[in-house]
Structure 1
Amino acid sequence: MTLHLNAFLMSTGHHEASWRLAESNPVANTDIEHYRELARIAERGKLDSIFFADSPVLWNDVGRRPSGSLEPTVLLTAIAAATTHIGLIATASTTYNDPYNLARRFASVDHVSGGRAGWNVVTTAGPEAAKNFNLADQPAHAERYDRAAEFLDVARKLWDSWADNATLADKAEGVWGDNAKVQPIDHVGRHFQVRGPLNVPRSPQGHPLIVQAGSSEDGKGLAARYAEAVFTAQQTLADAQEFYADLKRRTAAVGRDPAGLKILPGIVPVIGVTEAEALRLERELDELIKPEYARAQLAKTLRVKPEDLPLDRPLPADLPDEDEIEGAKSRYTLIVTLARRENLTVRQLIGRLGGGRGHRTFSGTPEQVADAIQEWYDAGAADGFNIMPAVLPSGLSAFVDHVVPILQRRGLFRTSYEGTTLRDHYGLPRPAGRTTALEEASA
């Protein structure tokens, strides 16, 4: 068993001030050539996949950092043509989409890429998104996850509505496909009524890889039932070990093999030739953060007013409990726990969050970064990592060119791709799909 490495790509990098560096292209967020080059760098390092987050609402104050993003499944199709092996994962919301459209979209990306598509399934939090879809406020947290579970059930039925051998392409007989092997799904549920079948033949992977990123109780329940990879934010080894063990137990409890679920905590590496150089770059980035923007964003996350967060004082004692939060519950708890555990001032907390919004940040030499990754992997805290470079493209190049070779020499990571699909990279089987009643009777 070896590490799994995904590159989480975000415009000029995950540090919110990365766009202000002299090397950065401040309009990289809409530059397709920028993303194609990042994908080629990741593929050069033999990484499992690249990933694009998304939301059906404008992220951030546009004054703060590059804002606005290309629709990620469209972006993935353009990247597919510029690469041959790297897996291609995008976020899409189950809260503000319908199963038929998304099932078709991801099946199409899987066809276009030759079997490299993955879907990061999210339930979109926040009232701002709701107002883009004719709603006054977001649906309740539990309601969003209930919808997501049924959404996934419908998508999987749609992907299986074509048998693998439904396409005949028999020119001599003049028969293109077997109607008996393309069937409606006739789904009737609490949230959806979908007849089917899908209007796309079964894709190379059968089902695109399913990724999940919520770490709340509802999120972990959804992951245990459906996810094949999980992106998570964990600040300490002990927290990561607890999350890992808990999610593997939940997966086994619903009758799935825990080995079929890969857990990838996020890490924001800042890499230098020396530790001092890495720490200098980290300081340079942190000094470019504009506190007024960062404080406003933190206040929004914590459901308080910016003036309630004096920069040089700790967080207020009377913050809401997680149960009162209908948004991103697990990220809220992570941020508050980090601040309380380390007795951080608001200014210090802003600095800690500036690199990865709650994901673990680590500054050091390539050897130190490799050691940090191996420590968590060996300690049963991760099956791999979600690599989140603070600055792009330089941070990804540094990781690929200097950290990956160390992991390869230690026997922890592949030196070549052994398969062609994203499922191959993650060591996961292709779903068998449906068979007709006649085939079942003769089996």
Structure 2
Amino acid sequence: MHLCGFLIAGPVVHSHAIWRNPKHTTDFLSLEHYTRIAKVLERGRFDFMFFADRLAIADRYGASHVTGIRHGDQDATRMDPMPILGALAAVTSRIGLGATRSTTYDAPYNIAREFATLDHISAGRAAWNVVTSMNDGEALNYGNVPHLGHDERYDRADEFMEVAFKLWDSWEPDALVLDRARGIYADPSKVHYLNHSGKWFQSRGPLNIPRGPQGRPVVIQAGSSGRGKAFAARWSEVIFALQPNMERMHKFTAEVHAALAQQGRPADASRILMAIMPFIGESRAEAEEKRDLHDSLVDPLVGLSTLGAHANADFSALPLDESVESVTSSGSQGNINALKSIAAGEPISIADAGRIYGRGVMCPRLVGTAKDVADEMADIVASGAADGFVVSPAFLPDTFEDFVDGVVPILQDKGLFRRDYAGVTLRDHLGIADGTA
């Protein structure tokens, strides 16, 4: 079983109640906050942690930032995760370190340099969560109006990945010589120009950083639309999925395996990790109390603000009792489709959608004792629905501490999770091959 800790460098994650934690303040603007979390997750032998990111505040609800800023939605604050990961590389030694970067609002050379650097300074623990970006707010911040269409973003992303991979491969593994006696730094015959010229990008190369310890950083992707799955099947080594129930987990995994086959890749070429949000107590009743307290701190409007950002849609003009079936999306289509199906055929109102999104963006919640949660996770993996989990916290660092101290030992006793790291790199933890040309 593979485990990842899911984070955003801001006041909320999937849970919009994190900054309102009644037990203590959550100092999300401090480095100490993230170093504490990283040390907890590494103590729990997690494969990796990664930061989701977006490049704009949410202002689709009412065509204004007022609701999101007032209530603290998912985009009210997002610090750049890359400097944080650089600091975390210095205080950890094994846990993988991932960050989100967009293929729509960046250049392949920038991305290749950032992650090659992180891979070197972390001794091979870097991961890139690839996104194509969702909405017009991001476009407005970068001067690109209107935002590219859904499929066109992925077309651009395909070429982006081609260039980034060529840049990482522009130094052969043994190009760096470091012969001090003869004064030979590197073998120029093993450092190559790209001379890439395509529809979206021109890049001469080579990269000005030698090949990283992993060859290439681990590639994470979370596309859940048809086009997104095809992109993930071509490029990813970890696929992060947010599916609200077991039925949809199985359906998603089957579709990914089919897409991998179409790309000529085996089913185990990419690890499929399902998001979960655990609420853990000494008893099931205590866990339910934690969940109910958490949910009481979530205003439906904060969920609608985040949902609007994800869907690239404004819900403010719709009556709160109207069904989400009327919603269309030019943003995250997979999330909208999952939301429409979450009630098993029963209609969900706009207000209900706000509550669901605010409490956890449709993360399935595992509520019970540590044994209950471990048993449910074991059942999901045994059923073939997933290779592991992205653990999304309800509170920080509380959820991770409860999980590491309670659930992880039970998974270890079941023989489902490592007792110690067997390797050094993130590829070692995941059991996937080095990134090679």
Q: TM-score, normalised by structure 2?
A: 0.93
1:34 is aligned to 2:33: yes
- Aligned counterpart in structure 2 of residue 319 of structure 1, from 315, 327, 352: 327
Shift of 1:105: 0.4
Q: Which amino acid aligns with 1:154?
A: V
1:309–1:316 contact (8 Å) kept in structure 2:
no
Q: Which amino acid aligns with 1:228?
A: E
Residue in structure 2 matched with residue 216 of structure 1 by the alignment = 225
Residue in structure 1 matched with residue 17 of structure 2 by the alignment = 17
- Aligned counterpart in structure 1 of residue 339 of structure 2, from 332, 335, 339: 335
Residue in structure 2 matched with residue 192 of structure 1 by the alignment = 201
Q: Which amino acid aligns with 2:78?
A: S
SS class of match (2:360):
coil
1:299–1:306 contact (8 Å) kept in structure 2:
no
- Against the structure 1 CA distance between its residues 213 and 316, is the aligned structure 2 distance closer, same or farther, given a 3 Å change threshold? closer
2:340–2:348 contact (8 Å) kept in structure 1:
no
Distance 1:149 1:208 in 2: 17
Cα root mean square deviation, aligned: 1.8
SS class of match (1:176):
strand
1:161 is aligned to 2:170: yes
- Against the structure 1 CA distance between its residues 178 and 373, is the aligned structure 2 distance closer, same or farther, given a 3 Å change threshold? same
- Aligned residues between the structures: 424
Q: Which ranges in structure 2 are unaligned for 5 or more consecutive residues?
A: 60-67
1:397 is aligned to 2:409: no
Residue in structure 2 matched with residue 180 of structure 1 by the alignment = 189
Q: Which ranges in structure 1 are unaligned for 5 or more consecutive residues?
A: 434-443
Distance 1:430 1:318 in 2: 46
- Against the structure 1 CA distance between its residues 226 and 215, is the aligned structure 2 distance closer, same or farther, given a 3 Å change threshold? same
- What are the superposed Cα offsets for residues 371-394 of structure 1, whole Å, 9 maximum, x if unpaired? 221111011100000000111101
- What are the superposed Cα offsets for residues 81-136 of structure 1, whole Å, 9 maximum, x if unpaired? 01000000110000000000100100000001000000000000100000011122
Q: Which amino acid aligns with 1:64?
A: H
1:269 is aligned to 2:278: yes
1:29–1:70 contact (8 Å) kept in structure 2:
no
Shift of 1:362: 2.2
- Against the structure 1 CA distance between its residues 408 and 151, is the aligned structure 2 distance closer, same or farther, given a 3 Å change threshold? same
SS class of match (2:381):
helix
- What are the superposed Cα offsets for residues 111-165 of structure 1, whole Å, 9 maximum, x if unpaired? 0100000000000010000001112221011110001111011111000100111
- Against the structure 1 CA distance between its residues 301 and 46, is the aligned structure 2 distance closer, same or farther, given a 3 Å change threshold? closer
Distance 1:204 1:317 in 2: 48
Q: Which amino acid aligns with 1:430?
A: D
Distance 1:283 1:358 in 2: 16
- Aligned counterpart in structure 1 of residue 146 of structure 2, from 137, 152, 160: 137
Distance 1:156 1:398 in 2: 39
Shift of 1:182: 0.7
Shift of 1:56: 1.4
Residue in structure 2 matched with residue 291 of structure 1 by the alignment = 300
Shift of 1:298: 4.1
Distance 2:325 2:93 in 1: 52
Q: TM-score, normalised by structure 1?
A: 0.92
Distance 1:349 1:305 in 2: 10
Identical-residue share of aligned pairs (%): 39
Residue in structure 2 matched with residue 73 of structure 1 by the alignment = 82
1:248–1:261 contact (8 Å) kept in structure 2:
no
SS class of match (2:345):
helix
Shift of 1:179: 0.8
Distance 1:6 1:59 in 2: 26
Distance 1:34 1:159 in 2: 32
Shift of 1:257: 2.0
Q: Which amino acid aligns with 2:332?
A: A
Shift of 1:339: 4.5
- Against the structure 1 CA distance between its residues 127 and 151, is the aligned structure 2 distance closer, same or farther, given a 3 Å change threshold? same
